[in-house]
A = this chain, B = another copy of it.
Amino acid sequence: MAIPITMENISEIGKIVRFHRNAAGLSRIDLADIAGVGKTVIYDIEHGKRTVQLNTLFHLLSALNIRISFEGPIMHQYESQKDEKD
């Protein structure tokens, strides 16, 4: 089960965070402490903020055991190019 996030539904991230936080039985302060971020930014994200910083979001998602991946038509070219040595 992977949920695609597009430009239009960025605010879905907030719903995902809230759901996972509640499922884990955590208050915003709990999660903030675990993730090492401020409580305010969790409030902001859960309310659909689009301007969160990437590292902040990653701290949260990591604490909630959510993983991110990038996909695209030429991503395999990137991958194979990475392995090239010399």
Chain A interface residues toward B at CB < 8 A = 1-7, 10, 13, 15-16, 19-20, 23, 50-55, 57-59, 61-62, 64-79, 81-82
B77 touches A72 (CB 8 A): no
Number of copies: 2
Distance (whole angstroms) from the CB of A60 to the closest CB of chain B:
11
A75 touches B2 (CB 8 A): yes
A23 touches B74 (CB 8 A): yes
Residues of B within 8 A of A67 (CB): 4, 6, 70-72
Residues of B within 8 A of A16 (CB): 70, 75, 78
Identify the interface centre among A5, A54, A73: most chain B CB within 10 Å of its CB. Answer: A54
